[in-house]
Amino acid sequence: MDLRNLKSVWKEIGFRPDRSLGQNFLIDKNVRKKILDNLRLKGDETVLEIGPGFGMMTFELAGSAGELIAVEKDRRICSVMRPFFKDAGNIRLVNGDIMKTDIAGLIGGRASRVVVYGNVPYYISTPIIGKVIEEGKGVDSFFVVIQEELADRLTAPPGSRTYGSVSCYVQYHTKPRKVMRVKKNCFYPVPKVDSALLEMELVPEKTVKPADPQLMFLIIRKAFSQRRKKLVNPLSGGGIRGIDKKGWIQILQGAGLDPSSRAEDLSLSDYAAISDIVHEGAVR
């Protein structure tokens, strides 16, 4: 569907994009083809599409997969597209909010490769990514079109200005890769900023294995709460087992780290080493 056809459908049904839902539809055919190519579908996958809209990607995804499950929040869109999706034969349309949807229930028990794709609203991109990571057991890869700035943050390496706690979270659970830039004029209505296609390969076997992952992420969040200060200062602010500044200096040195380092200087492996020392209770 191109822009002319899209506007024609909207005029016929009296539809206007809902800004509160972040509705920006991908109209560029070349970009859609590139996205499809990067998903590397072989014909037998189950694809979960978040926010199919008016099927800009849906029919092409369904044509390259074994089964497609489309979760759409807007009831108006569902009422218009349901008969078209039904005619495709392998598309199941679910009217619902992905943040309130049982993802495991939708995809559970499938022997085929499971791929999640979504062109998601900017304002809820991070919660959706977290939802898929936390509840998407059985998902092999998650491809998502998001604000380019966020894609850069999620793939940022240690030492980068954009590296932060969300970078650590995504890089712990997945192998993220910024696949391609998507210019804002590829959408209608045109958003204010450019987007990017981000690929996240979900990794059941973690490369970093802290004894207590929750403790590690508590330390990471605390460290980045004052990212411009030396790491020992935000960590000494209380809340983590009552360890004082002297104790944190000892912990950092025990992990082979400079106490004057800042949060963005440390890798996931460094944070795992710190959390393991705390977990062992060597310092109180």
Q: What is the pTM of this model?
A: 0.93
Confidence class for position 282, pLDDT limits 50, 70, 90: low
Are 273 and 160 members of one domain? no
Are 32 and 171 members of one domain? yes
Are 153 and 258 members of one domain? no
Are 113 and 233 members of one domain? no
CA-to-CA dists, residue 131 to 28, 82, 162, 240, angstroms: 28, 25, 22, 26
Separation of alpha carbons 284 and 39, rounded Å: 49
Percent of the chain with pLDDT over 70: 99
Q: At what angle do helices 75-88 and 3-13 cross, to 10 degrees?
A: 120
Q: What is the mean pLDDT of residues 202-222?
A: 94
Q: Please check whether residue 208 lies inside any domain of the structure.
A: no
Among residues 180, 202, 224, the one where a domain terminates is: 202
Are 19 and 121 members of one domain? yes
Are 173 and 225 members of one domain? no
Lowest mean pLDDT among 4-13, 148-157, 181-190, 207-216: 4-13
Are 157 and 220 members of one domain? no
Confidence class for position 283, pLDDT limits 50, 70, 90: low
Q: Is 205 helix (H, G, I), strand (E, B) or coil?
A: coil
Q: Is 89 helix (H, G, I), strand (E, B) or coil?
A: coil
Q: What HEC string does 207-265 produce?
A: CCCCCCHHHHHHHHHHHHCCCCCECHHHHCCCCCCCCCHHHHHHHHHHCCCCCCCEHHH
Are 62 and 120 members of one domain? yes
pLDDT tens figures, 70-129: 999 999 999 999 999 999 999 999 999 999 999 999 988 777 899 999 999 999 999 999
Could you give the number of structural domains in the chain?
A: 2
Query: Residue with structure tokens 């973690």?
Result: 206
CATH code, 195: 3.40.50.150
What pLDDT score does 18 carry? 87
Are 159 and 254 members of one domain? no
Are 18 and 133 members of one domain? yes
Domain that holds residue 83: 3-202
Q: Please check whether residue 242 lies inside any domain of the structure.
A: yes
pLDDT at 232 exceeding the cut of 60: yes
Are 181 and 225 members of one domain? no
Separation of alpha carbons 71 and 22, rounded Å: 15
Q: Is 272 helix (H, G, I), strand (E, B) or coil?
A: helix
Q: What is the mean pLDDT of residues 236-241?
A: 84
pLDDT at 1 exceeding the cut of 80: no
CA-to-CA dists, residue 91 to 70, 87, 221, 262, angstroms: 7, 8, 40, 49
Helix H or strand E encompassing 93: strand 91-95
pLDDT, mean over the chain: 94
